Structure 1
Amino acid sequence: MIILENRVCPDSEVYLVMISYGSERPKSYRPRLLDERLQTLLQIFGAVEIRGTKWCGKSWTALAFGESVIHLDDPNVKSLVEADPSLALQGNKPHVIDEWQETPATWDATRRAVDASGGEKGLFILTGSSTPAKNSVTHSGAGRIARLDMSTMTLWERGLSTGSVSLKNLFDGSFEPSAYTGSLSMLANAICCGGWPALVGASPQMAAEVVNQYLDAMYEVSVPQKGGVGSTARHIVSSLARNVATSATLNTIAADASLGDSDAQPATSTVAFYLDMLESMYAIVNLPGWDAPVRAKSRLRTKPKRYFVDPSIPAAALGMNPERLLADGQTFGLLFESLCIHDLSVYTSCLPGSYPGSLHYYGDSDGLEVDAIIELNDGRWAAIEIKLGESKVSDGIHNIERLRRKVALNPAARNPQPEFCAVVTATSPFCRYDAEHDVYVFPIGALRA
């Protein structure tokens, strides 16, 4: 194994994490925030599955830790493994099984190999960009195969964040004010280019071509493979893009998908089918609702907000380039929120004490909505509002203060006081602490895990 030092903070505050990369590590591999988590899981489980949308970097990250690999999206290899699934397991360990869902029998073969190893750890790394049919595997892999969700790259991973504000440090009560010089045009480019590893440093024009091809491939290949119709999926994705960062109803999406023809409006059950399909392909993610009492009914009954796995997808679906985005403040605001939720989701997953679903939003019948709530498994929580412009910071603070009062008055809230509250903006000139309101204010381009 190759031992490397992975710098995860700016030079002003450097942490060195020892990462053991394998011999298959691509020469141009750019370290990811989940590398440390993957290394930990390989030390605990016999196998780890990395899940996420196509092209988000799963294969490269798996290879970075691997000593051998088999690619099941190669038709010649796939046909051999379909005849004998044990062939997929051959190689030095950790052995990477790329796109395992192409031959679902490899899942059960992996699970059996882990059982037969007598407790050996870190044998296999599987990658998957879609969920296979439930009847394709006979065992969940619980206790043998860990699951690790992967997203596209954050601003920090792309080198577009100064990293002067740490989410972990905020939970620990540590913060240092600093100046920030980022621009709206940088963020518009970042939204349209997205966090695709292969597009780091690409021009927005080049990125638009690639993202549009990504969508076309999804409509023409992936959707039909799952029993859907590409044109229907295209209309539903367009509706989701129009309604991004909202809890749009199935009826709203169905009406949008009809393109004004009431006779062609799909049933809500059809819309639900396509939403499930898009989730299974890791194209969209749901942000659940939150309330302070851990057993509150509202956690289950509040409709989730829907976001795309990368902000470049709704930008492409809406036909937005950076210049058009800068001229349309309302759309920019929605896609900026998508970018922030994307990055907050990744940073939250790196926090000690985070769990699947640690990131929420708050919305109630009084019309109060707070964009992001981070809750850790010890009950500590934080509230974050997202505002595109500095002029809207006071509105974000007002919403946070309303939420703090509501939670403080709720006798069922075990942790009524948040660890911290913040307003995340696009281009605030300073990362600062507002002592009067007990709220941090900083731009997304200054944040890291």
Structure 2
Amino acid sequence: MSEALADTRVVLVNGARQAGKSTLTRLATAGLPGTVIRLLDDPATLRAAQDDPTGFVDHDGLMVIDEIQLTPELLRPIKVVVDLDPTPGRFLLTGSSRILALRTLPDALPGRMEIIELWPFSQGEMSGDPDQFVDAAFRHGTRIDHTSEWRRKDYLERVVVGGFPEAVRRTPRRRAAFFDSYLTTLIERDVLEIANIERRGELLKLLSLLAGRAGQLLVPGTLASQSGIPRTTLVRYLELLGSVFLVKSVPAWSSNLTQRAVGTPKLAFVDTGVACHLIGQDAARLGEPGGAAGPMMENFVLMELARQLTWSTERGTLHHYRTKDGVEVDAVIETPDGRVIGIEVKAGATVRTEDLTGLRGLANALGERFVAGYVLYTGQQTLPFGDKIRAVPLDALWRLAPK
């Protein structure tokens, strides 16, 4: 954030409600002389912004405006201010909805605003670990060697807690109350700031259905049939849920070398704690036969990777890979120069030969472009499975760092 303020006129910290945006901005601006803070959650401040947007943003130095989506009409006078004075670090904005999705958005400040997305806590942030698996994987390939004391139940506990600061610090019963309140606020307030929703019950019904399909292909036609919601309405709902940082679409990966790739994206919940709450499964229930340990663990890994890619030295994009024959790799990360790592996720402590099919197929197709393939599993040892493929304990995801 400090780097962005040093060379950009407007910086927007955008992310899920309760992810810590306000706290982060206060810490980042503490001690900066002349900083003005405006909290639009305060009714009087909100009225002042609505009544006189131009006067509201008139200031010297840095102005912090919290929850900018409540008064998007401020963006036009902000544009005028920074066009007249292009000094970096004029405005620091926060928002709980993707600003570009707002119905009343007057101007997106092209070329003047940098957007920083803030996610719920990563595992490394909660435990003080490096959180640099992506960099370690691209730098060291199959030279990675990690051991762990963690067992399957330890990972499942992390999955059901999720990463929201308020949820992390609560007991299981009080955590459930937080998730209930969080989802209600998200639907009753944040979604309504973006679009008019007449039948909110449909949206809540869809959320529960989506939680049961976390980690699976996102096929609107199938979801429409299962939910009874018209396809066009369902697509609109999916866009809204993405705009308030509740769900994320992981795009399919393809290459000229892999012509049979399926182009359908995969669904992931931004926070697995919310998803587990929606399907009503705690750690014990997830781990039972018929529990959702597999898809929730995959969702968990996908979102940890997505977080890391916002700060990793290696610039990469996150995808999944699946062929028309059903061969798949849960996560594929590709760098701009074409290097690729593949990641499979297994909720069990044993890796079988068939678990390696997707990674081996990808390695054969890509040749030298394929850096390494990893099976992240709940076992405790790193195990070699031939050239360029390793099974690695899942907590390597946040405990490894490049050396």
Secondary structure, aligned partner of 2:299: helix
Q: For 1:239 and 1:442, how far apart are their aligned partners in 2?
A: 32
- Structure having greater relative contact order (Cα 8 Å, sep ≥ 6): 2
CA, structure 1 residues 391+241, in 2 after alignment: closer, same or farther (shift >3 Å)?
Answer: same
Task: Name the amino acid aligned to 1:445.
Answer: D
CA contact (8 A) 2:248 2:267 kept: yes
**Aligned equivalent of 2:241:** 278
2:384 alignment counterpart: 434
> Structure 1 residue 113 and structure 2 residue 81: aligned?
yes
Paired with 1:232 and 1:352, the residues of 2 have a C-alpha distance of 42
Query: Any residues of structure 2 matched to 1:96-135 within 5 Å, and which?
Result: 96-117=64-85, 119-131=86-98
TM-score norm. by structure 1 comes to 0.80
**Unaligned stretches of 5+ residues in structure 2:** 30-34
Match of 2:301 in 1: 340
CA gap of 1:246–1:382, structure 2 versus 1, over 3 A, is same
Contact 2:16–2:96 (CA under 8 A) maintained in structure 1: yes
2:286 to 322, 325, 330: 325
Go from structure 1 to structure 2 and tell me whether the alpha carbon gap of 1:204 and 1:352 turns closer, same or farther (over 3 Å shift).
same
How far apart, in 2, do the equivalents of 1:165 and 1:279 lie? Answer: 26
Is the 2:331–2:344 contact (alpha carbons within 8 Å) kept by the matching residues of 1?
Answer: yes
Q: What residue in structure 1 maps to residue 32 of structure 2? A: none
Distance 1:353 1:44 in 2: 22
In structure 1, list runs of 5 or more residues that go unmatched: 1-37, 258-264, 409-415
User: In the TM superposition, what is the alpha-carbon distance from 1:351 to its structure 2 partner?
Assistant: 2.2
Match of 2:185 among 193, 210, 217: 217
Which residue number corresponds to residue 227 of structure 1?
196
Aligned length: 390
In the alignment, structure 1 residue 388 sits paired with structure 2 residue 358: no
* TM-superposed deviation, 1:298: 7.9
Change (3 A) 1:361 1:88: farther
Instruction: Please give the secondary structure, in 1, of the residue aligned with 2:178.
Output: helix
Q: Is the 8 A contact 1:153 1:197 kept in 2?
A: yes
Superposition deviation, residue 231 in structure 1: 0.4
Match of residue 376 from structure 1: 335
List aligned pairs for 1:48-447, cutoff 5 A: 48-66=11-29, 67-89=35-57, 93-117=61-85, 119-131=86-98, 136-159=104-127, 163=130, 166-173=133-140, 175=143, 177-225=145-193, 226-228=195-197, 229-257=199-227, 265-293=228-256, 302-328=263-289, 330-354=291-315, 358-392=317-351, 394-408=353-367, 416-425=368-377, 427-430=378-381, 432=382, 434=384, 436-447=386-397
Cα distance in 2 between the residues matched to 1:224 and 1:134:
10
- Counterparts in 2 of 1:336 and 1:349: CA distance versus 1, 3 Å: same
Match of 1:4 in 2: none
> 1:4-43 to 2 correspondence within 5 Å?
38-43=1-6
Query: 1:367, CA displacement in angstroms?
Result: 1.4
CA distance in 2, matches of 1:297, 1:108: 46
Q: Quote the Cα distance in structure 1 between the aligned partners of 2:170 and 2:163.
A: 11
**How far off its partner does 1:279 sit?**
1.4
Q: CA deviation at 1:420?
A: 2.1
TM-score (normalised: structure 2):
0.89
- The separation in 1 between residues aligned to 2:113 and 2:63, in whole angstroms, is 13
Return closer, same or farther for 1:212/1:45 CA change in 2, 3 Å cut-off: same
SS in 1 for 2:125: coil
2:41 match: secondary structure: coil
Give the partner amino acid of 1:434: P
CA deviation after TM superposition for structure 1 residue 329, in Å: 5.3
Cα drift, residue 218 of structure 1: 2.4
Superposition deviation, residue 74 in structure 1 = 1.8
